[in-house]
Amino acid sequence: MALLIAVLTLVLLVSASTSPAIALSLNHYEKTCPDVESIVAKAVERATMKDKTVPAALLRMHFHDCFIRGCDASVLLYSKGNNKAEKDGPANLSLHGFYVIENAKKEVEAACPGVVSCADILAFAARDAVVLSGGPTWEVPKGRKDGRTSKASETIQLPAPTFNISQLQQSFSQRGLSMDDLVALSGGHTIGFSHCSSFQNRIRNFNATHDIDPTMHPSFAASLRNVCPIKNKAKNAGANGSFFNSFR
């Protein structure tokens, strides 16, 4: 059931668009660019063979894109003039893998000039990233339009790693997402790694009474303290390249 919820939720997320008037379709490129998904999948696979962190990077990038203005690829836009774009917002400074989307776009353009949106390419790439990590596959509805507005200031809307459950619920509900959606999308973090700095305050010097956050399971806290020592050089915890179909 957890897998089913995760897949359905992710499909709903990648189906989102910035305008309710845009109708997505599974056969949107059937006549104009029939090989687009194959082209993108091969680009993602090549990149993953060289860098095992690519799948997690693409999945996270897609989520960060969709959570702000819908799945419109506005996270790919560069800052220009006085406008600071989403990718330069504090929450997105750690995003990487943009080159994978850019390379896929170039190959798609060579086959089908001016047809496929970057938003659709990013949606395909996120799906392919999950598949390459041993996760499920799904049909991606197509026909998204690329956004032309990208503001770093709006990235404050992204849920922070320090959010408690009430803050997370409020953040997700503002986008029409339920508690089931919250759990499933959080479970999507099953690939990649966590930054020790994101939870360091919960495993050491939590408050005047407790050294460790009392809401955290003791054995889990102990494992985190082990991989994130005080004099930490690795900075990352729980690195994982496989997609797990259960989340607790």
Reported as a single tens digit per residue, the pLDDT across 202-222 is 999 999 999 999 999 999 999
pLDDT at 86: 98
Does 245 have pLDDT greater than 80? no
Q: Are 44 and 172 in contact (CB under 8 A)?
A: no
Top-confidence residue, 223 or 21: 223
| Domain ranges, ordered by start, for the chain | 2-156, 191-248
171: amino acid identity, one letter: S
pLDDT, one tens digit per residue, over 10-56 is 544 544 444 445 689 999 999 999 999 999 999 999 999 999 999 99
**What percent of the chain shows pLDDT beyond 90?**
66
Q: Are 26 and 142 in contact (CB under 8 A)?
A: yes
Please give the CATH architecture assigned to the domain spanning 2-156: Orthogonal Bundle (1.10)
Residues 162-182 as b/e (b if ≥16 CB within 10 A, e otherwise) read: eeeeeebeebbeeeebeeebb
The reply, when asked if residue 154 is annotated as ligand binding, is no
Structure tokens belonging to residue 6: 């995760």
The reply, when asked if residue 62 is annotated as ligand binding, is no
Please give the CATH architecture assigned to the domain spanning 191-248: Orthogonal Bundle (1.10)
pLDDT, one tens digit per residue, over 117-158 is 999 999 999 999 999 998 889 999 999 999 999 999 999 999
pTM recorded for the entire structure: 0.83
pLDDT, one tens digit per residue, over 57-116 is 999 999 999 999 999 999 999 999 999 999 999 999 999 999 999 999 999 999 999 999
The reply, when asked if residue 74 is annotated as ligand binding, is yes
Q: Which residues are catalytic?
A: 64
- 2-156 against 191-248: fold identical: no
- The pLDDT-based confidence of 195 (bands split at 50, 70, 90) is confident
- The pLDDT-based confidence of 236 (bands split at 50, 70, 90) is low
Structure tokens belonging to residue 166: 């009430």
Mean pLDDT of the chain: 87
pLDDT at 193: 72
Q: How far apart are CA 146 and CA 156, in angstroms?
A: 21
The reply, when asked if residue 70 is annotated as ligand binding, is yes
pLDDT at 162: 83
The reply, when asked if residue 162 is annotated as ligand binding, is no
- The pLDDT-based confidence of 197 (bands split at 50, 70, 90) is confident
The reply, when asked if residue 217 is annotated as ligand binding, is no
